[in-house]
Homo-oligomer: A and B are copies of this chain.
Amino acid sequence: MNIGDVATRSGLPAKTIRYYEDIGLVKPLRDTNGYRTFREIELHKLAFLGRARALGFSIEDCRNLLQLYEDESRTSAEVKEIAASHLERIRQKIVDLREMSDTLSNLIDSCAGDHRPDCPILESLGTKIS
Q: A97-B94, A100-B55, A104-B87 are in contact. Are A80 and B126 (CB under 8 A)?
A: no
B97 and A44 contacting across the interface, CB-CB below 8 Å: no
Contact partners of A54 in chain B: CB under 8 A: 100
Q: Which of A17-25, A27-35, A45-53 interfaces with chain B?
A: A45-53
Asked if A77 contacts B113 (CB within 8 A), the reply is: yes
Q: Given A76-B112, A116-B75, A116-B76, does the pair A69, B122 have CB atoms closer than 8 Å?
A: yes
A65 at the interface (CB under 8 A from B): yes
Contact A76 B114 (CB under 8 A): yes
- Number of copies of this chain that the complex holds: 2
A104 and B83 contact, CB distance less than 8 A: yes
Residues 69-97 of chain A: 1 if any B CB is under 8 Å from the residue's CB, otherwise 0? 10011111101110110110011011001
Q: Which of A97-130 contact B (CB under 8 A)?
A: 97-98, 100-101, 103-105, 107-108, 111-119, 121-122, 124-130
A104 to B79 CA separation, bound complex (whole angstroms)? 12
Give the interface of A toward B (CB within 8 A).
9-10, 43-44, 47-48, 51-52, 54-56, 65, 68-69, 72-77, 79-81, 83-84, 86-87, 90-91, 93-94, 97-98, 100-101, 103-105, 107-108, 111-119, 121-122, 124-130
